[in-house]
Amino acid sequence: MHWTSIPQFVIPFVVVLGIVIFVHELGHFVMAKLRGVRVIRFSMGFGPALWKTQRGDTEYRVAWFPLGGYVQMAGDSPNEDGSMPDGGPEEYLSHPWFGRVLIALAGPAANLVAAFLVMVAVALLGVR
């Protein structure tokens, strides 16, 4: 393989990885919203923002380094002394353990559902 053929592999890899990351983070985001947790930021990528917008309480952004993403929720970190925050019901760590587990598992579950739907589409439509 010659070095000039690398972009033909890298670009599709980054695009497919971006879709997988988006679906994963969207799972966390949707479940957090359903559980009443305030989402501060939905980010595709890490590092400085290339694009961002604010809608309601949430900042949506696309960041410089595309190999990841995150959903930042209100109250998702313990206090500096290690204690849990005494925030309101819209904070992540104020929710009961099963609510936090649902939010944590929603990302991988979204990926499993997406993979199933892709396989169904491939079975129905075929691959050329």
Residues marked active site are found at 25
Q: Who contacts 122 (Cβ-Cβ below 8 Å, separation ≥6)?
A: none
C-alpha closest to that of 63 among 23, 22, 118, 8: 22
Name the one residue in this structure whose structure tokens are 């929710």.
95
DSSP letter (8 states) at residue 38: P
